Amino acid sequence: MKKTALLLLMLLVSACNSGETENDAAAINKQEMANQVKAEFVHTWEGYKEYAWGHDDLKPVSNSYHDWYEASLLMTPVDAFDTMVLMGLDEEAAEAKELIFSELDFDQDMYVQNFEITIRLFGGLLSAYQMDGDERFLALAEDLGQRLLPAFDSPTGMPYIDVNLRTGETRKPVNNPAEIGTLMLEFGTLSKLTGDPVYYDKAKKAITEVYNRRSDIGLVGTMINVETGEWTDTSSHISGRIDSYYEYLLKAYLLFGDEDFKTMYDESIKAVNEYLLDRTDTGTWYGYADMNTGERTQTYYGALDAFMAGMLVLGDQVDLAREIQDSNFKMWQLHGIEPESIDYSTMEVAYAAYALRPENIESAFYLYRETGEQQYLEMGKEMFESIVEYCKTESGYAQLADVRTKEQSDAMHSFFLAETLKYSYLLFVDDSVLPLDEYVFNTEAHPLTKTW
Ligand code: DMJ
């Protein structure tokens, strides 16, 4: 090779190399981000250990604790356990395990909320069993599943809101689609793992009874009486009290391969996109409508609704998911951290609190896994960093009373460790961790997989 040609070649190689270095510098260091998320998890677990050990939740401002009921059900350690396993936090996982097996006792004469106990504890124990392999997790899950089963003993088969863990007595017959339907993955998984179909069948009947009571235009309402089967609130939306009903129709199909769920999801999402989807000057949102007439009643959208983009990815509506995620992020950026809800017609805050919710980051995670696009990593990074900036306390993470003032409130739901930090971590770790064609996350981010 001639001398000049060699020189040119060397110049070209060095230009390419320097370009690569610049790009790398601009790119997000995923490993570093994953390590930061892990460090924040450890910080919070240390706070729980010091101030709330053996209780349900840490109170992160007063450095104290909160129990949901008369006896602690170890909400935080159970909810957080699979995140520890995922992050390779062996010491922390061993501590949590020791606490769970020595203290957790479901034989309590107290009413609990079937839905919350199912998604956090039942789901947490099942995924703990699948990820860790210790049979005692399955035994606890089965004991809990048996105690929750009487909740379904209503004239319609739809469950009551509360059930007494010892006596099986039930109360509160006016329930909602989310609390009725968001039981399918956990009860269904227990059936598959134990070989006893009763759990699957009861949960499937319950969610199907909601679907069967959809209106002529295919929408469901907010509240329904499980004894009479009558709707008591006909407001339709994708927000709290309905949200995960749709999520579980789709995920039950993905996890169990039961075509009935696919039919129910496809029919339902069609109506949701026809009557609730709202493309406006401020973005693409889902609003409120009357379930019978389809008429728009409210233009509220909020932190909980942000799950929708992730669900649409799983339901193969990726373009729509992108539109929704753009709006989700716009909502986040309004005040540097998202409020519980906004009126999207004015972009004014309707409810100013931030409860450390995961849904916005969860959707960024699904879109990143699906598209591999840097923009979703950037969204996740900004959201995670604002949580650290505004919510971190000496012992953990605090909810915000008002996203405009950033005033903190003295509460930290266990889903911060189960979901918010898990989805943040999953966004930055390698795609091969918990691949989405093998794992289905319950609504509390507990990964479930077909080990049966
Ligand atoms: C969690 O308990 C679950 O994600 C539920 O489906 C909705 N609310 C919280 C998180 O925001």
Q: Is the pLDDT of residue 299 over 80?
A: yes
Q: Which atom of ligand 1 is nearest to the CA of 357?
A: 11
CA 8 / ligand 1 centre spacing (Å): 59
Q: Is the pLDDT of residue 411 over 90?
A: yes
Task: Tell me which of 16-20, 117-121, 350-354, 433-437 is least confident.
Answer: 16-20
Q: Which segments of 126-281 are extended strands (E)? A: 162-164, 170-171, 174-175, 223-225, 231-233, 235-236, 277-280
By most ligand atoms within 8 Å of CB, the mutation choice from 56, 76, 119 for ligand 1 is: 119
**Residues 323-341 pLDDT 10s:** 999 999 999 999 999 999 9
At 133 the pLDDT is: 98
At 24 the pLDDT is: 45
Q: Which atom of ligand 1 is nearest to the CA of 304?
A: 11
Compute the average pLDDT of residues 120-149. Answer: 99
Q: Is the pLDDT of residue 4 over 60?
A: no
What's the chain's Rg over C-alpha atoms? Answer: 23
Q: Which atom of ligand 1 is nearest to the CA of 445?
A: 4
Q: Across the strands, what pairs with 278?
A: 285
Q: Supply the residue whose CA is at minimum distance from atom 6 of ligand 1.
A: 443
Check pocket membership of 395 for ligand 1, CB cut-off 6 A.
Answer: no
CA 1 / ligand 1 centre spacing (Å): 66
CA 21 / ligand 1 centre spacing (Å): 41
Residues with Cβ < 8 Å from 386, sequence gap 6 or more? 332, 336, 337
Tokens representing 312?
């649409």
Residue type, 449: T
Residues in the chain: 452
**Residues 240-266 pLDDT 10s:** 999 999 999 999 999 999 999 999 999
At 10 the pLDDT is: 39
Q: Is the pLDDT of residue 13 over 80?
A: no
> Rounded to an integer, what distance in angstroms lies between the CA atom of residue 431 and that of residue 409?
35
At 25 the pLDDT is: 44
CA 440 / ligand 1 centre spacing (Å): 16
Check pocket membership of 357 for ligand 1, CB cut-off 6 A.
Answer: yes
Q: Supply the residue whose CA is at minimum distance from atom 5 of ligand 1.
A: 443
CA 359 / ligand 1 centre spacing (Å): 8
Three-state DSSP at 130 gives: helix
Q: Supply the residue whose CA is at minimum distance from atom 8 of ligand 1.
A: 304
Residues with Cβ < 8 Å from 288, sequence gap 6 or more? 235, 236, 237, 239, 276, 296, 297, 298, 299, 300
CA 358 / ligand 1 centre spacing (Å): 8
At 26 the pLDDT is: 60
At 14 the pLDDT is: 38
What percent of the chain clears pLDDT 90, i.e. is strictly above it? 94
By most ligand atoms within 8 Å of CB, the mutation choice from 415, 416, 417, 442 for ligand 1 is: 415
Q: Is the pLDDT of residue 30 over 80?
A: yes
By most ligand atoms within 8 Å of CB, the mutation choice from 185, 359, 366, 423 for ligand 1 is: 359
Check pocket membership of 244 for ligand 1, CB cut-off 6 A.
Answer: yes
Q: Does residue 177 contact residue 215 with C-beta atoms inside 8 Å?
A: no
At 16 the pLDDT is: 37
Compute the average pLDDT of residues 184-191. Answer: 99
Q: Token pair 């709330």 is at which residue? A: 52
By most ligand atoms within 8 Å of CB, the mutation choice from 357, 387, 412, 424 for ligand 1 is: 357
Q: pLDDT-based confidence at 275, cuts 50/70/90?
A: very high
CA 419 / ligand 1 centre spacing (Å): 8
CA 443 / ligand 1 centre spacing (Å): 6
Check pocket membership of 208 for ligand 1, CB cut-off 6 A.
Answer: no
> Rounded to an integer, what distance in angstroms lies between the CA atom of residue 203 and that of residue 344?
35
Half-sphere exposure for 131 (CA within 13 Å, toward CB): 25
Q: Across the strands, what pairs with 348?
A: 343
| Helix 75-87, helix 90-103: angle, nearest 10 | 150
Q: Which atom of ligand 1 is nearest to the CA of 116?
A: 2
At 27 the pLDDT is: 87
CB count within 10 Å of CB 259 equals 9
Long-range contacts (CB closer than 8 Å, 24 or more residues apart) made by 63-67: 63/394, 63/395, 64/410, 66/411
Which residues carry out catalysis?
116, 243, 340, 359
Check pocket membership of 97 for ligand 1, CB cut-off 6 A.
Answer: no
Mean residue pLDDT across the chain: 95
Q: Supply the residue whose CA is at minimum distance from atom 1 of ligand 1.
A: 444
